[in-house]
Structure 1
Amino acid sequence: MKNIVVEKLVHTPVEEQKVEIVERKGIGHPDSIADGIAEAMSRALSKEYLKRVGAVLHHNTDETQIVAGRAKTAFGGGEVIQPIYILLVGRATKHFDGVDIPADRIALKAAKEYVRSAMRYLDPETDIVFDVRLGEGSTDLKDVFQRREGKAPLANDTSFGIGYAPFSETERLVYSIERRIYEEFRKKEKAIGEDVKVMGLREGDKIRVTIACAFVDRYVNNVNEYLTIKEDLQKFVEEVAGEHANREVEIAINTADNVEKEVVYLTVTGTSAENGDDGSVGRGNRCNGLITPGRPMSMEATSGKNPINHVGKIYNLLANQIARDCYEAIEGIKEVYVRILSQIGKPIDEPKALSIQIVPEKGYDVEKMESRAVTIAEEWLNDITKITDMVINGELSTF
């Protein structure tokens, strides 16, 4: 058994707590844009390394920074006055075994392609100034990266990852609202931007959801049109809430609007990064897509870290996979929390500790769940490079 401990967790389950707070920063939020760009660069570098030398080489692009630009909005269409500045910073291998690798160009191309795919009205050529500053990795970490013990890479850091299952009703609702706005409502309503922030507050059996949704000014001619679209969005979100929540749900959208003065949430490009809102990797959603102050969380940024031996990425993703599989496969689990700790220089499939804490349903014995939970964790550890493959192929979201 690989340092796996299963125990009963005695605490009040999230659903039974009086107050629960859940947040999701949408795809167009500056922090999420930074996460998305960082992860896109890492995937692109990984694929190019595989193509050129047959292996993913050392890199980390998890320090991407966004400095807000300046825009002047107006009903019917405003303009960007000063472009957004994005610093593509981190480490990447640029020379290996006689092969030169244009890491800066690969990263820049990936960043621009990500912006094009994620944002409809943010032009990476005219609305953004990219500054590529990828350095080389430190000698000792590059050495650790290249060494192996058996099949598993060696951990590049002493760090931990955390995951849990299942989502609470409030968590499912907050996550679904942003996803449905982005995937559905935004596609049928051109005036809706990608910067959508959803904050959920549950007090007892009432959930209050506050949404900040950027509108795109060129598709809104006056304040009345704005209010009409906002009302349509309100009805859409209420329908989503009806599908995902049994509790009473109250929805509030763009609560800072001052309709009398015609001061409403307009943007030129669909993101607040155009006008005063900066962004950084790791300041937004955890790798399960949410910010959950009522749950244990790792402060590690998952996006942009290399998918081979950076445990700050791998263990957070792995912990959530193990927690999900335990919840789905083992009868009688109300909540399950997984914590995985690495030790630098040791194989990532042999963590220093892997803790599985279970809150059982009434009448169920955690001791009887232990062997199955250990088996699930060991199966993932024995096939831990599957996480790497899933990340490179874009099968796992990191924010």
Structure 2
Amino acid sequence: MAFLTIERLYGKPVSEMKVELVERKGLGHPDYIIDLLCESVSRELSRFYINEYGKILHHNVDKGLLVGGESQIKFGGGIVTKPIEIFVAGRATIPDDNYSLIEELAIKAMSTAINNNFRFLDPVRHMHLNVLIRKGAVELRSLLEREREPLANDTSFGVSYAPLTDTEKLALGIERLLNSKEIKDKYPYIGEDIKVMILRNKNKLKITIAAAFIDRFISSVSDYKNKKNEVLDIVDEYVRGMLGGNYKYKIYLNTADNLKRKKIYLTVTGTSAEMGDDGNTGRGNRVNGLITPNRFMSLEAVAGKNPVSHVGKIYNVMASYLSNKIYEELSDYISEVYVRILSQIGSPITKPQTLHILYRMKAGKNTQIKNDIRRIVEDTFTYDTFKDVTKDILEGEYLLF
């Protein structure tokens, strides 16, 4: 593996830095919604191609735009007055120039994704779903549609790391908790649009949460205030359980509220997308579900890219898979590991320009650590693993955003 470089990092790991910033855009955030819809179209096309042709054909539907609608909120239940506009654009293999078939598949995929993830957002009544998918370039189609391993269809890179810090785990965990079925069943007034931002300064955490409330379950400003306190109690119990006594923390919820003026965070459907908040594919979370400015990151939009040859997707997921595997096997010796993979368009995906592994040692020495990392990479960075990763992406096994 001439392309493999293994390098030791020095200095403090992120968990020991004085300041750490972590963000999680949740299920109902406009950026998350458009990522979800682009990815749902890619998976539907992939399944169609497999069923019809025995393999995934060329497609990339990673150019998505969500244009927020308009609504009139009201205690006890308001209405959406102007629908959310969704535009999913990209390129695909279109059998017999049957554009209507591709549009039908895309509309079906997006509608199913909304129905499966949202309780009060209706893809027919509250949204307009627009499909702008055209034929792909011949030279890019040929890079994927080979009997041998596919060739990279872009010059791009993927980046990931392991393990997550306590702050990262907390940001992810809070959003997942508030969007869990258990919480939604017990506290149905909590909408899906939840954003978590955490600032850690040494051992002090400032946790800021924006959570949409659903107006049909709120009777008054006083009722809203009481329900906010319920949510704060839910989060506080979770944070205490996660952190123990290792950190001091303060939780802030919907800090833009002005109760005296009745300016509160209410929605009809559970997402701010209903009232003017817009979204773009790739503006949300990275492959591990987080936005982490303390880390190396790629700005690639993973959602909607084909899971076979588009390195903007497959390399980011492979970097995540590889970094976690290295850390799991060598966690006695290393505190952090980063993986960066750079492709060359037209080259096999298993032969990148570089595969750069950076690791940070714990106290003590292990003179064999580079050999151990090399062994793991050589055993893992294979075409068989790429095929497994593609299959797992289609089955929803990876947190892509």
TM-score scaled to structure 2, two decimals? 0.96
Alignment of 1:108-187 (within 5 A): 108-147=107-146, 151-183=148-180, 184-187=182-185
1:338 matched to 2:336? The reply is: no
What is the rounded CA distance, in whole Å, between the counterparts of 1:152 and 1:312 in structure 2?
A: 17
Partner of residue 83, structure 1: 83
Alignment of 1:212-361 (within 5 A): 212-245=210-243, 246-330=246-330, 331-361=332-362
What is the rounded CA distance, in whole Å, between the counterparts of 2:319 and 2:229 in structure 1?
A: 40
What is the rounded CA distance, in whole Å, between the counterparts of 1:214 and 1:104 in structure 2?
A: 32
Deviations 1:193-222 (A, max 9, x none): 000000000011101100000000011011
Asked if 2 retains the 8 angstrom alpha-carbon contact of 1:95 and 1:101, the reply is no
What is the rounded CA distance, in whole Å, between the counterparts of 2:290 and 2:2 in structure 1?
A: 29
Deviations 1:280-328 (A, max 9, x none): 1100000100000110000001111000100000000110111111111
Task: Find the residue that maps to 1:313 and give its secondary structure.
Answer: helix
Partner of residue 397, structure 1: 399
Deviations 1:65-113 (A, max 9, x none): 10000011111111101000001211111117x9998211111100011
What is the rounded CA distance, in whole Å, between the counterparts of 1:114 and 1:333 in structure 2?
A: 39
Structure 1 letter corresponding to 2:398: L
What is the rounded CA distance, in whole Å, between the counterparts of 2:99 and 2:41 in structure 1?
A: 18
What is the rounded CA distance, in whole Å, between the counterparts of 1:108 and 1:100 in structure 2?
A: 12
How far did 1:364 drift? 2.6
What is the rounded CA distance, in whole Å, between the counterparts of 2:142 and 2:155 in structure 1?
A: 16
Asked if 2 retains the 8 angstrom alpha-carbon contact of 1:201 and 1:208, the reply is yes
What is the rounded CA distance, in whole Å, between the counterparts of 1:82 and 1:240 in structure 2?
A: 37
Residue number among 380, 387, 390 corresponding to 2:389 in the alignment: 387
Partner of residue 105, structure 1: 104
What is the rounded CA distance, in whole Å, between the counterparts of 2:130 and 2:386 in structure 1?
A: 35
Deviations 1:27-50 (A, max 9, x none): 000000011111111111101110
Asked if 2 retains the 8 angstrom alpha-carbon contact of 1:2 and 1:378, the reply is no
TM-score scaled to structure 1, two decimals? 0.96
What is the rounded CA distance, in whole Å, between the counterparts of 2:157 and 2:253 in structure 1?
A: 37
What is the rounded CA distance, in whole Å, between the counterparts of 2:121 and 2:98 in structure 1?
A: 35
How far did 1:119 drift? 1.1
Alignment of 1:29-40 (within 5 A): 29-40=29-40
How far did 1:378 drift? 2.2
Task: Find the residue that maps to 1:296 and give its secondary structure.
Answer: coil
Which sections of structure 2, spanning at least 5 residues, go unmatched? none
What is the rounded CA distance, in whole Å, between the counterparts of 2:48 and 2:307 in structure 1?
A: 14
How far did 1:275 drift? 0.5
Structure 1 letter corresponding to 2:195: K
Deviation larger for 379-388 or 299-308: 379-388
What is the rounded CA distance, in whole Å, between the counterparts of 1:152 and 1:327 in structure 2?
A: 28
What is the rounded CA distance, in whole Å, between the counterparts of 1:207 and 1:135 in structure 2?
A: 47
Asked if 2 retains the 8 angstrom alpha-carbon contact of 1:93 and 1:103, the reply is no
Runs of 4+ in 1 over 6 A off after TM superposition: 98-101
Q: 1:121 to 1:335 in 2, by over 3 A?
A: same
Task: Find the residue that maps to 1:63 and give its secondary structure.
Answer: strand
Task: Find the residue that maps to 2:57 and give its secondary structure.
Answer: coil
Indicate the percent of aligned positions where both proteins have the same amino acid. Answer: 44
What is the rounded CA distance, in whole Å, between the counterparts of 1:204 and 1:395 in structure 2?
A: 34
Alignment of 1:10-89 (within 5 A): 10-89=10-89
Asked if 2 retains the 8 angstrom alpha-carbon contact of 1:71 and 1:274, the reply is yes
Partner of residue 7, structure 2: 7
What is the rounded CA distance, in whole Å, between the counterparts of 2:281 and 2:154 in structure 1?
A: 18
1:190 matched to 2:188? The reply is: yes
Asked if 2 retains the 8 angstrom alpha-carbon contact of 1:302 and 1:313, the reply is yes
Asked if 2 retains the 8 angstrom alpha-carbon contact of 1:157 and 1:343, the reply is yes
Task: Find the residue that maps to 1:344 and give its secondary structure.
Answer: coil
Structure 2 letter corresponding to 1:362: A
What is the rounded CA distance, in whole Å, between the counterparts of 2:365 and 2:74 in structure 1?
A: 60
Aligned-pair Cα RMSD in Å: 1.4
What is the rounded CA distance, in whole Å, between the counterparts of 2:106 and 2:379 in structure 1?
A: 34
Structure 1 letter corresponding to 2:293: P
What is the rounded CA distance, in whole Å, between the counterparts of 2:185 and 2:59 in structure 1?
A: 35
Task: Find the residue that maps to 1:164 and give its secondary structure.
Answer: strand
Deviations 1:150-180 (A, max 9, x none): x421000111000101111110111100001
Q: 1:187 to 1:45 in 2, by over 3 A?
A: same
What is the rounded CA distance, in whole Å, between the counterparts of 1:49 and 1:225 in structure 2?
A: 51
Task: Find the residue that maps to 2:359 and give its secondary structure.
Answer: strand
How far did 1:352 drift? 1.2
